[in-house]
Every structure is written in C-alpha cells, then in structure tokens.
Amino acid sequence: MEAADAAVWQGAVLGGIVIWVVAASFLDVTFKLRSFLQPWVSHHVDIGVPFILQIQNYRFGFLDALFSGLSCVVSVPFYTGFLPLLFWSGHGKLARQMTLLIAFCDYTGNCIKDVVSAPRPPSPPVHRITATKDEEDNALEYGLPSSHTLNTVCLSGYLLHYVLYHTQIDGFHATYIGVPLVVLLVTLIGFARVYLGMHSVIDIIAGLLFGLGILAFWLSVDEYIDNFVVSGQNVISFWAGLSFLLLFAYPTPEIPTPSFEYHTCFNGVALGIVTGVQLTYHQFHSEFVPRLFTSEMKILVFAGRVLVGIPTILIVKFCSKALAKWTIPVVANTLGIPVKSSSYIPKLNPLVTGNKPKEGYFQKLLSPQDSFDVDTGIRFVQYIGLAWSVVDLVPSLFTYLSL
C-alpha cells in the first residue's frame, strides 16, 4: 500500500509538471509575465544608478578586494567546493540539505531572472568590478533577483536553524550570536553587490524577499524531503524524472544567458547526491557515522579524506564528461534526434549561425527541424557523476583505506 501511495503522488507531481510545461508553452506565460514585470523593474534599475554612483565615489583598492572576496565566499563555486568537505566530515544530513537547498535556490532564482529578463545597472556609467572569471560570467546574467543575496539568506539562515535544532550548542548563545552574524553577513553581501556595480537596490531587495520566502518554505518541508531521500519509495526513478522535466520547465530568457547552464549543473548535482545517498545511506550517511573533531575522526583522518577525495571527484568529473561527449551524440543520432553543441563538440556546430534567440525547450521538443544542444546533456551527466562520487565512490575508498 505504501509503495502504491508513493507511486500515485509521484506520478501526480511529474504529471503536474508536464501539464504546466504544455500550458505555459501554449499560453506563452513567460512572455506575458515579462511584458508586465520587465518595464517596472528596468525603471527602478535606471533610477537606482545615481545611488550606485554615489557609493562608488568612495571606491578604493581595499574595499574592492574585500567585497570581491566576500562575493566569492558566498558564490556557487565556493559552495560546490565546500559541500563535499561537509559530507566527508560526517555531517551528512546538513550536507545533503544544504546541497538540495542551494539547487532549489539556484533553480528558483535563475527562473525568476530569465522570466523578468531585467538588466543589471548600465556600465558605463556604473563601474562593474569583476575580479574573477566567475564574476565575469555572472555579469552576463540578468539582474533581478540578486542570487548572492538570495543564496546567502537561505543558506546562512538554514545553517543557523540546523545549529539551533540539531546540535548540542546552547540555544540561547547560538541565537544571540548567530542571528546578528547572519544579518551582518546578508547586509554586507547586499552592499557588496551594489558597490561592485553588479546589482541595483531593487535586485537586492528582491533577493532578500525571495530568499526569506524560500527559506520559510524549506524549513517547513526539509524533514519530509530528507526522510524521502534516505528511506522513501522509488526515490531514484522519481528524482531522475523530476530532474529531466525541470530542464524543460525552465523559462526561455529574452536572450541566452549562463543561468540555464548553472541550473543544469546543480540539477545534476542534486540527482547525483540523492542517488548516492539513497544507495549508501546506512553505510556512509546515517546519524551514527564518525564526525570531525570527535574521538572517531581526528583532524589528520579528515585531511587524508580530503587528499583522497578531491582528486577522485575531479577524475570522475573528467571521465563523466568524456563519456557523455561520446555517448549522447551517438544515442541522439541513433534515435534520429538532430543535435548541435555550443562549445563541447565543435564539429556538431551548424555551419551558419544567426542571432535568432533560442526557442523554448518545449518548442524544441515539438519541432523536428530544431536541434538539441548536447552541451546540456553533457553538463548534466558530468555533474551527476561528480556528485555521486562525493557520496558513494569516495566514501567507499575511505573504507578501503581505513579513513
């Protein structure tokens, strides 16, 4: 009976997404929402320029370095590097919740960005400070909401919640120290994004409000999601179907941006983590595994895990990408699906390219003459392999090496 009930609600969820994709495509929901929201947001971006210029009048090298560094610390690449260490330190529940939460934040925030398709502050006159390649890529995305602000609200807020309710740290001290720290961090991140010329005030406010909404929602469902991931029915098949459909449910931006690529990566990460945890929960991820800074896991043991784990997941990432680059075009050709590649496989690129905006993914599914970008599939498979290795392959190596 339990398996039947699970199949019913899972089928309802996946079916609902399919219905939404079809309805949104035929009703042109994205265009209608953009027509309503974009002029209002763009107006507030324009009238916010003098405020940004006033802040940038106080620019100097130390503040440039400080705010650029702060932005890097709360960026998606930082979390991508930090989360494996959290898994390997024994804090499996916190690690998987943070992973799924950032995937949800990334998908939701980037969907809103590409639906609204509102510009960032114009440069010039605003001076846009991009100290890293990641920041240069971020500058190619649309502005509202600020992903850095949204992610900081959600992840720092959830971390504080976890410390208060799932650790032995005194709640009184954690609250009166943790809450001001979270508020300070969010404030600094919001100010940094304006100072760096990456966002207008309206983007920061939107990131804050959406972040609070997402955090409140996640705190109401996190235990249900975690129980489903570790002990639910049909978990892997359901999550695979969900991940695939989310690729098609993503809105089409006014012009292509890297936002969809970022979502694809974390969509793959979420599927890889869920798959690995579901298969190996009792071996590697239960509440009884050794944790860092306890008698069961000394700092040297954790250092050994890092030295073994980091090279391993990088090798798996490389191999997954190579395997996907070879298999996906072959499978597509076998099924008669026309394909192209934006960057990974140059020989698949069309001989003539124009400036015509990309069509929605559902339209591509319906139109045989259009071609699929295999880079999406390659990126998806690559990050599935990376995430699976973090929670399955690498912990198996730790067991073999007595780590």
The catalytic residue positions are: 148, 199
Q: Are 147 and 109 in contact (CB under 8 A)?
A: yes
Residues 6+ apart with CB under 8 A from 72: 78, 131, 132, 134, 135
Q: Are 152 and 73 in contact (CB under 8 A)?
A: no
Angle at 261 between CA 256 and CA 262, to 5 degrees: 120
Return the DSSP state at 282: I
| DSSP H or E stretch at residue 28 | none
Q: What is the 3-class SS of 202-214, one letter each residue?
A: HHHHHHHHHHHHH
Helix axes 259-280, 76-88, angle to 10 degrees: 10
Task: Return d(Cα 334, Cα 351) in angstroms, integer.
Answer: 22
Task: Return d(Cα 341, Cα 329) in angstroms, integer.
Answer: 10
Task: Return d(Cα 363, Cα 366) in angstroms, integer.
Answer: 5
Residues 6+ apart with CB under 8 A from 305: 88, 394, 398, 403
Residues 6+ apart with CB under 8 A from 233: 2, 3, 6, 7
Q: Are 124 and 184 in contact (CB under 8 A)?
A: no
